[in-house]
Amino acid sequence: MLAVIAVASREGGGSLNPDAGDLGVTAGWGHNGEGGAVMPGKGKAFERDYTAREREAIAAGAASLGLSQEQAFKLMGERTIDVYLKRNCVLEKHSAPRLGVHHRRL
């Protein structure tokens, strides 16, 4: 079940290259403020429904843990959030709604 959560991928396909900076966080999640304080930014995240494949993987993972599908989605939420680290690098299927993370649709 956890293998399908927060998977880093390149938007549009292809491989991520850490040496080329693909994993750098540049999507505006924060910036330096006065006195060295880190100020929050607007970031980039999109809430969406799970795909059928994602729902099947979560249900299978839940079953392997002795949980029902209903229990798994009660814990994880019925929707998911894709969180962008930068323009072309996204953490897909992040369970942020259950972690108390707030987001804006940009």
Whether residue 87 is contained in a domain is answered as yes
Whether residue 28 is contained in a domain is answered as no
Q: How many domains, the chain?
A: 1
Whether residue 23 is contained in a domain is answered as no
What are the tokens at 2? 């956890």
Lay out the sheet containing 79-86: strands in order across: 7-10, 89-94, 79-86, 45-49
Q: What is the pLDDT along the chain (106 residues), one digit of tens a residue?
A: 455 566 777 887 888 888 888 877 777 777 788 888 888 777 778 888 988 988 888 888 889 989 999 998 888 888 888 887 777 777 776 554 444 444 443 3
Query: Which domain covers residue 97, as residue numbers?
Result: 1-12+43-106
All residues at 6 or more sequence positions from 2 whose CB lies less than 8 Å from its CB, including other chains: 61
Whether residue 21 is contained in a domain is answered as no
Residue 5: the pLDDT is 64
pTM value surpassing 0.75: no
What are the tokens at 99? 């972690």
Residue 3: the pLDDT is 58
Whether residue 68 is contained in a domain is answered as yes
Whether residue 24 is contained in a domain is answered as no
